[in-house]
Copies of this chain bind each other. A is one copy, B any other.
Amino acid sequence: MDRELLKGSTPLLLLSLLSEAPMYGYQIIETVRQRTGGTYTVKEGALYPALHKLEAAEFITSYWETQQNGRERRYYAIQPAGQAFLKAKKKEWNQFVDMVEAFVGPKA
Protein backbone atom coordinates (compact mmCIF):
# COMPACT_ATOMS: atom_id res chain seq x y z
CA MET A 1 0.00 0.00 0.00
CA ASP A 2 1.30 3.39 -0.99
CA ARG A 3 2.43 5.15 2.15
CA GLU A 4 1.54 8.56 0.86
CA LEU A 5 -2.14 7.72 0.74
CA LEU A 6 -2.06 7.01 4.45
CA LYS A 7 -1.01 10.49 5.40
CA GLY A 8 -3.66 12.26 7.34
CA SER A 9 -5.71 9.14 7.87
CA THR A 10 -3.78 8.03 10.94
CA PRO A 11 -5.52 10.27 13.50
CA LEU A 12 -8.83 9.11 12.08
CA LEU A 13 -7.91 5.46 12.48
CA LEU A 14 -6.51 5.95 15.94
CA LEU A 15 -9.50 7.83 17.22
CA SER A 16 -11.87 5.30 15.69
CA LEU A 17 -10.07 2.48 17.36
CA LEU A 18 -9.93 4.19 20.73
CA SER A 19 -13.60 5.04 20.54
CA GLU A 20 -14.22 1.29 20.77
CA ALA A 21 -12.04 0.83 23.84
CA PRO A 22 -8.87 2.13 25.50
CA MET A 23 -5.82 0.42 24.07
CA TYR A 24 -2.06 0.40 24.47
CA GLY A 25 0.44 0.93 21.71
CA TYR A 26 1.40 -2.61 20.94
CA GLN A 27 -2.23 -3.63 21.02
CA ILE A 28 -3.11 -0.98 18.46
CA ILE A 29 -0.42 -2.24 16.13
CA GLU A 30 -1.59 -5.82 16.48
CA THR A 31 -5.25 -4.95 16.11
CA VAL A 32 -4.67 -3.04 12.91
CA ARG A 33 -2.51 -5.79 11.52
CA GLN A 34 -5.10 -8.42 12.26
CA ARG A 35 -8.12 -6.48 11.17
CA THR A 36 -6.57 -5.71 7.80
CA GLY A 37 -5.41 -9.25 7.35
CA GLY A 38 -1.84 -8.08 7.42
CA THR A 39 -2.07 -5.79 4.41
CA TYR A 40 -1.46 -2.77 6.55
CA THR A 41 0.76 -2.33 9.55
CA VAL A 42 1.05 0.81 11.62
CA LYS A 43 4.68 1.46 12.32
CA GLU A 44 5.91 2.64 15.70
CA GLY A 45 7.51 5.61 14.08
CA ALA A 46 4.09 6.71 12.95
CA LEU A 47 2.08 5.54 15.94
CA TYR A 48 3.73 7.17 18.90
CA PRO A 49 4.19 10.64 17.48
CA ALA A 50 0.55 10.58 16.37
CA LEU A 51 -0.59 9.38 19.78
CA HIS A 52 1.43 12.05 21.55
CA LYS A 53 0.04 14.71 19.32
CA LEU A 54 -3.50 13.59 19.97
CA GLU A 55 -2.77 13.63 23.66
CA ALA A 56 -1.26 17.11 23.53
CA ALA A 57 -4.44 18.27 21.85
CA GLU A 58 -6.39 16.61 24.68
CA PHE A 59 -8.34 14.39 22.34
CA ILE A 60 -7.07 11.38 24.26
CA THR A 61 -5.52 10.71 27.68
CA SER A 62 -3.09 8.09 28.78
CA TYR A 63 -2.50 6.18 31.99
CA TRP A 64 -0.19 3.41 33.12
CA GLU A 65 -1.62 0.13 34.20
CA THR A 66 0.26 -2.62 35.97
CA GLN A 67 -0.33 -6.18 34.90
CA GLN A 68 -0.28 -9.27 37.09
CA ASN A 69 3.31 -9.94 36.19
CA GLY A 70 4.29 -6.52 37.44
CA ARG A 71 4.95 -5.05 34.03
CA GLU A 72 3.44 -1.78 32.93
CA ARG A 73 1.46 -0.75 29.94
CA ARG A 74 0.45 2.66 28.81
CA TYR A 75 -3.20 2.83 27.83
CA TYR A 76 -4.67 5.53 25.67
CA ALA A 77 -8.34 6.49 25.99
CA ILE A 78 -10.48 8.85 24.00
CA GLN A 79 -11.85 12.04 25.58
CA PRO A 80 -15.08 13.90 24.87
CA ALA A 81 -13.19 16.43 22.75
CA GLY A 82 -11.76 13.50 20.84
CA GLN A 83 -15.22 12.12 20.16
CA ALA A 84 -16.23 15.43 18.67
CA PHE A 85 -13.06 15.64 16.64
CA LEU A 86 -13.58 12.12 15.42
CA LYS A 87 -17.02 13.01 14.19
CA ALA A 88 -15.66 15.95 12.24
CA LYS A 89 -12.86 13.87 10.82
CA LYS A 90 -15.27 11.22 9.65
CA LYS A 91 -17.24 13.81 7.80
CA GLU A 92 -14.12 15.12 6.21
CA TRP A 93 -13.13 11.64 5.24
CA ASN A 94 -16.42 11.05 3.48
CA GLN A 95 -16.08 14.30 1.59
CA PHE A 96 -12.61 13.34 0.57
CA VAL A 97 -13.73 9.96 -0.72
CA ASP A 98 -16.58 11.53 -2.65
CA MET A 99 -14.20 14.04 -4.14
CA VAL A 100 -11.77 11.46 -5.40
CA GLU A 101 -14.54 9.27 -6.72
CA ALA A 102 -15.83 12.22 -8.71
CA PHE A 103 -12.68 11.82 -10.79
CA VAL A 104 -11.80 8.20 -10.53
CA GLY A 105 -15.32 6.89 -10.80
CA PRO A 106 -17.31 5.00 -8.16
CA LYS A 107 -15.75 2.07 -6.39
CA ALA A 108 -17.84 -0.65 -7.97
A-side residues, CB < 8 A to B, are: 1-9, 12-13, 16-17, 32, 35-36, 39-40, 89-90, 92-97, 99-100, 102-105, 107
Interface of chain A, main secondary structure: helix
- Min CB distance, A14 to chain B, in Å? 9
In the assembled complex, which residues on chain B have CB atoms less than 8 Å from the CB atom of A6? 8, 96
* Cα distance, A52 to B96, chains bound together (Å): 25
- Say whether B3 contacts A8, CB under 8 Å: yes
Cβ-defined contact, A97 with B107, below 8 A: yes
Query: Does B2 lie within 8 Å of A8, measured CB to CB?
Result: yes
CA distance A107 to B90 in the complex (A): 9
Docked CA distance A1–B8 (Å): 11
> Do B99 and A17 touch across chains, with their CB atoms under 8 A apart?
no
